[in-house]
Amino acid sequence: MPRMEYASIGNRIAAVLIDGIIISFIVGIAWTLIGASSTITTILYFAVLEGSSMQATLGKKVVGIKVVDSNGNGISIGEALIRSLCRMLSGCILGIGYFMALWDDNRQALHDKLAGTYVVTDCTSGGYVKSNPPAQAFIPQKNNRVNPCIIGISGQFAGSCTKVDERGIIFGRDRIGCQMAFGENTPGISRHHCAVSFNPITNMFIVNDLGSTYGTFLENGTKILQGQPIALKCGERFCIASPMNMFEVRL
């Protein structure tokens, strides 16, 4: 499974409190208009929002976390409904199912384990993957020559080191046209997703989105728009489609 920055317990509690306030308001309206019970309203609230393109309830969105599957991708409405129903089990026996997240290595509550989901920080909301550089340390050049490389931080290319020059390299699923080719069925990655080149005059890397569907982002969540390339300095990071595909540029 790709390395993720799992949401902190504090953020998850904050999201629950915010959602509780919102659900109470929605339940009042739903009961008045259609007589829907609080249980049905709560189940649908989590299922619809977490299964949408937001990948998060309103509370989670506020604190910058979201729900993903084991590959770091958003879940469907059906999967979100299963997760929402499993929340009922987490609430049984004094809420022990929720407390499981306190000692679980992946911070999964019982309903996360049953539904195969994870709650992680959201790259597009300013969250990012906190990972240490690969074990292979970079030794500074004794001469002044630079060695521009792209380092895989997380995901399929974690730990890899790929040289890049003025011609650049392309990331995507097209194994013929892309130097950094993801698996054909990799979710979120376009056939020609983005390109990265190196400018030896400025010693800067240029990242350009190629019209990808799920986007290319800086580590701070800023989206790189097609036709508006962004320059990166040595040590800065960008992610492709999600924080589970994080890369760092190095000299």
Task: For 159-217, write each residue's pLDDT tens digit.
Answer: 889 999 888 999 999 888 899 999 887 888 999 999 999 998 888 999 999 999 999 99
112 and 154 together in one domain:
no
- Residues belonging to the chain: 251
Distance of CA 128 to the CA centre of its chain: 8
Which of 102, 121, 140 represents a domain boundary (last residue)? 121
Sheet holding 216-218, edge to edge: 161-163, 149-152, 246-250, 237-240, 216-218, 223-224
pLDDT > 90: what percent of the chain? 34
**pLDDT given at position 103:** 85
Which of 121, 138, 168 represents a domain boundary (last residue)? 121
**pLDDT given at position 104:** 80
**pLDDT given at position 123:** 57
112 and 183 together in one domain:
no
87 and 51 together in one domain:
yes
Number of domains present in the structure of the chain: 2
81 and 23 together in one domain:
yes
Q: At 217, phi and psi to the nearest 5?
A: -130, 150
- Least confident stretch, 21-25, 69-73, 186-190, 244-248: 69-73
Q: What is the pLDDT of residues 18-39, one digit of tens each?
A: 988 888 888 777 666 665 577 8
The model carries a pTM of 0.50
Full domain range(s) for residue 93: 9-121
**What Å distances lie between residue 114 and 72, 110, 127, CA to CA?**
17, 6, 25
What is the mean pLDDT of the segment spanning 119-142? 50
178 and 238 together in one domain:
yes
Domain annotation covers residue 3? no
CA distance 57 to 48: 9
39 and 109 together in one domain:
yes
pLDDT > 70: what percent of the chain? 85
CA distance 228 to 222: 12
Which of 70, 105, 121 represents a domain boundary (last residue)? 121
Buried b (16+ CB within 10 A) or exposed e, 98-122: bebbeeeeebbbbbbbbbebbbbbb
238 has pLDDT over 90: yes
**pLDDT given at position 142:** 46
CA distance 178 to 182: 9
109 and 155 together in one domain:
no
Where residue 57 falls (left for φ over 0; alpha for ψ -120 to 50; beta otherwise) is beta
115 and 210 together in one domain:
no
Domain annotation covers residue 89? yes
**Could you tell me the CATH number of the domain that includes residue 160?**
2.60.200.20
Domain annotation covers residue 134? no
**pLDDT given at position 31:** 63
Domain annotation covers residue 43? yes
Domain annotation covers residue 142? no
**Residue 136, C-beta contacts closer than 8 angstroms, at least 6 positions apart:** 159, 161
141 has pLDDT over 50: no
Domain annotation covers residue 190? yes
**pLDDT given at position 129:** 41
18 and 108 together in one domain:
yes
The 3-state DSSP class for residue 186 equals: coil
Give me the chain's average pLDDT, please. Answer: 83
